[in-house]
Structure 1
Amino acid sequence: MTLSHAPVALVTGSALRLGRQMILRLHQQGYRVIIHANRSLPAATQLAEQLNQQIAHSAAVVHADLTDDQAVAALAEAALACFKRLDLLINNASSFYPTPLHNASLTAWDDLFGSNVKAPYFLSKALAPMLAEYQGCIINMVDIHAEKPLADHSIYCMAKAALLMMTKALARELAPAIRVNGIAPGAILWPTQTLADTDKAAVLAQIPMQRLGDPDDIANAMLYLAQAPYVTGQIVAIDGGRSLGGANKA
C-alpha cells in the first residue's frame, strides 16, 4: 500500500500518555496519524517530527481547545485538510478532576462535559461523512466509572456515562457505514495529580490482577476495535477486573 492510500487516524489528546501510545501503535501499523493537542502542543510537534523522520509526510498536528465550540468545528476542518481522508476517529481527550458536590461549579461542569461529551459528539458529527466514505470507525475512550461512580467525581462520571450512551446511540444511527465502540480503561497510568502510597495501595487492592495495566493494553484494544468489522456498539473494559468490584474512593 502506498502512503497516499494508507488509512488515516485522528486521535484527540494524543501528545502524551495513552493517546501518544495509540498514535505510536497506529503509525507502526501503517496509518497516517493526526496528533491533536491543546496545552501539549510542543510535545505533539516533537512526536510528529519523530514519526515523519521514520516515514515522511505520515504525521500531522492539529491544535484546538475542545471546550471551545468554534475550535471544535475548526479542528474537524483542519483534520480533513491534513490528508484529505479519515478512517478512524478516537475521542481520547478528557478533563479529569474531583468535583465534590459542596463546591461543584458551572465552570467545572462546562469543562468536564465539554471535553468528555460535547466535543466528541460534534466532532463525530462533523467527521461522519468522511468516515462513512471510507467505512471507518469511531472509538470513544469511556471509563469504568461511567457505570460505577468514583467518589467526589460526580460531574466527570456523569460525563463519561453520557459518552457511553453516545457510543451506543451513534453505533445504531451511523450503521452500517460507520462502526462506533468504546474502551473503558481502569488503572493504567497513575493520574498526573500526585497520589499517596496508601491511595495507590488501595487502588491496587481492588484490582484482581493486582497491578496497573500498561498503555500497550489500551493500544491493543484500540487496534482490535479498529480492525473488527462486525463489532459495533460495544464498550470494552481494560481494567484487570477492577470493574467486577465496588466503587473506589482513590
Structure 2
Amino acid sequence: MKKYITVAALLAAGSVFANAVEISPLTDSQTGTWVHANNNAIDGNGVLSGDPNWQVDCSTYTLATSLTISVDEILNFSFDATNNGTGNSCLTLALIGSSNAIVVGHGTYDKPGDELQVAVTDNTGAQGYVFANTNAKDDVQLTAGATLSSAMPTGGAISTISGQIKWDGDSWSLTTTSTAVDSSLNYDLGITSLEVSKLVVTIEGGHGPDDASDEWKTPTMSNLKISVIPEPSTFGLLAGLGALALVASRRRRR
C-alpha cells in the first residue's frame, strides 16, 4: 500500500521520503502470498533457487494490494542474482499488472553467458517467463527488446540488478544497471499505464553429472525489493511546502 507524506508528517520527520512496499528477502511473511510451481523453494536466508536438476522453476508473489503508479512517481526494484556458473541458465523477474508484464533477467541457453535482457508482453497469466533460445518448458518465451552485456557474469558471481521505471512524457521507460558493469540499459517500454499486482520469478538451469564437479547447478535470486517514490520534482515541492509551513508556524509563535 502506498504511503503518502503530508505537510504535518514532513514537519515531524524533518525529511521527505516514501516507501510503497518492500519485499526483502523473499519470504512468506511479507504482505501477499507466494505460490511455488514445480519444485521451487525459498530457504531460510530468503534465497530462491531450484532443485539440483535441469528444470524450470517458478514462483508467483501476489501483492495484497496492487500498486498503481502515477506519472509523477518512480517504480524502483532491485535483486541479487547469480547465474549457475556455466552460462547455460535463465533467471527472470516479471512485474505483472492487469494488461502487461515487464520482464528483466538473464536467459542464456545457446547465447552469451553474461547478458541482462528486458522485454514486455501482454501475456500476464504465464507460469513463468524466459527469453528466446532458452530451454523453455511450459513458460512464455520472449524476444529481448534490449540487452546489457557483462551484467550477469558467469562463474557464479553475485550481481545486484537495479531498475527504475519512470514516465518519459509519452510512455513508461526503464533504466537498468548492474554492479558487474559500468554501463546501463535504457529501454522505452511502450506502455502508457503502470501497475504491479504480481511478481513472477522464473529460474532455469543445470549442468549435469557430466560436469567435472558431478553436481547440478541452478541460478539464485535474493533480496528482491520494490518501492514507489515521488519524482524528484515532487520531493522538492513537498519539501518546499514543509519549509513554508515551518516558517509560517514560527511566525505565528512570535
Same fold (TM over 0.5): no
Kindly name which structure, 1 or 2, has the bigger radius of gyration based on alpha carbons. 2
| Structure 1 or 2: more helix by fraction | 1
TM-score (norm: length of structure 2): 0.29
Query: TM-score, normalised to structure 1's length?
Result: 0.29
